[in-house]
Amino acid sequence: MPAEPRSAEPQPAEAKTAASDEALSPARPFLKWAGGKTQLLPALLERAPRAIDTYYEPFVGGGAFFFALAAEPDLAPRRAVLNDMNHELVTTYTVVRDHLEELLTRLEVLSAEYLGGDEEARSTYYYAVRDEQRSAPVEVAARLIFLNKTCFNGLYRVNRQGRFNVPHGRYRKPAILDRPNLEAASRALQNTEVTHGDFEVACADAAPGDFVYFDPPFHPLSDTASFTAYTEGAFSRDDQLRLRWRMDALRERGVSVMLSNSPHEWIVGVYEGAKYRVERTPARRAINSKGDGRGAIDELIVTNDYPRRGQIESLT
């Protein structure tokens, strides 16, 4: 007769290590997003507040800064509120948080059907998925992740009718199903509220001890370099001013605020001389509307006066 399993038995050492390593593996953004902040992360992390109660990111996009904070033991916020104006994106975050297994199952099918085809079949499959309308949340999320991995340059762009219109990308083996990273992202999202709407409403409840990071659509450095098609609407100069006023109100309430934007002289003028610390830092944009527009480009980081995490490191 087989021995009774003893539930209190300690786990073998290897199993324990593998399980805890997996539990600790940090998430990366699961979508490539125009204006993604991966390259700016060291500069942002060093300027983050020493302690964060609730973290707000009203223009979350791919969420590079959120996932980086969540991976830092000394910075991981207790709670987060993530928001975007892009409805499909917000739906995808909620599905990754709440319906991961169903999403993985759907992505497995999309991945097998797409990767199993030759070049022509893949292209036909891509346009069939791109041109279908879906409303069930898991389908919306699977479609967005699939298109993001297989479209040209991982770009999200919609036409005036709000329809995704990026052509097929022809990558050899796109990672349509990245199970470990989606699992890690789902864990990181467990204590988050995900909202859809305008940035002002999204951070209206922030209180002292909270941190709000604003990464609005990059103000174009020239009239021809604009990329603002994340949603049907554009982000105007009036919106940029509305943002500055919202930051003023939060700052006066004792909230820590940070903004990144283009170093356009008009944007610099909006923040300089207005009780903000305005710094330029080198960054490189991952997606540019012009193929030849890549290369070193400064980014502006604006903060109010709060104790920074980088200051702790410099003391040790």
Ligand X SMILES: C[S@@+](CC[C@H](N)C(=O)[O-])C[C@H]1O[C@@H](n2cnc3c(N)ncnc32)[C@H](O)[C@@H]1O
Name the residues that contact ligand X, by CB under 6 A. Answer: 33, 35-37, 58-59, 61-64, 84-86, 198-199, 215-218, 230-231, 235
Give me the least distance between CB of 41 and ligand X, in Å please. 9
Helix, strand, coil percent values for the chain (each to nearest 5): 40, 15, 45
CA-closest candidate to residue 64, choices 78, 51, 45 = 45
Give me the least distance between CB of 261 and ligand X, in Å please. 9
The residue (of 28 and 99) whose beta carbon lies closer to ligand X is: 28
The residue (of 218 and 276) whose beta carbon lies closer to ligand X is: 218
The residue (of 89 and 100) whose beta carbon lies closer to ligand X is: 89
The residue (of 180 and 197) whose beta carbon lies closer to ligand X is: 197
Give me the least distance between CB of 198 and ligand X, in Å please. 4
- Strand segments, DSSP code E, in 58-132 are 79-84
Going by C-beta distance under 8 Å and a sequence separation of 6 or more, which residues neighbour residue 64? Answer: 29, 33, 36, 37, 38, 40, 41
Task: Report d(CA 107, CA 271) in Å as an integer.
Answer: 44
Task: Report d(CA 174, CA 266) in Å as an integer.
Answer: 40
The residue (of 85 and 255) whose beta carbon lies closer to ligand X is: 85
3-state secondary structure (DSSP) of residue 245 = helix
CA-closest candidate to residue 141, choices 168, 104, 113 = 104
Give me the least distance between CB of 94 and ligand X, in Å please. 15
The residue (of 138 and 203) whose beta carbon lies closer to ligand X is: 203
Give me the least distance between CB of 218 and ligand X, in Å please. 6
**Contacts made by residues 18-23, CB under 8 angstroms, sequence distance 24+:** 22/180, 23/187
Structure-token pair, residue 196: 């859809």
Give me the least distance between CB of 3 and ligand X, in Å please. 53
Give me the least distance between CB of 149 and ligand X, in Å please. 15
Give me the least distance between CB of 67 and ligand X, in Å please. 9
DSSP character at residue 232: S
The residue (of 114 and 227) whose beta carbon lies closer to ligand X is: 227
- Strand segments, DSSP code E, in the chain are 54-57, 79-84, 192-196, 211-214, 256-261, 277-284, 296-303
The residue (of 61 and 154) whose beta carbon lies closer to ligand X is: 61
Task: Report d(CA 211, CA 65) in Å as an integer.
Answer: 12
For residue 296, what are the β-bridge partners?
Answer: 284
Map tokens 């980081």 to a residue.
301
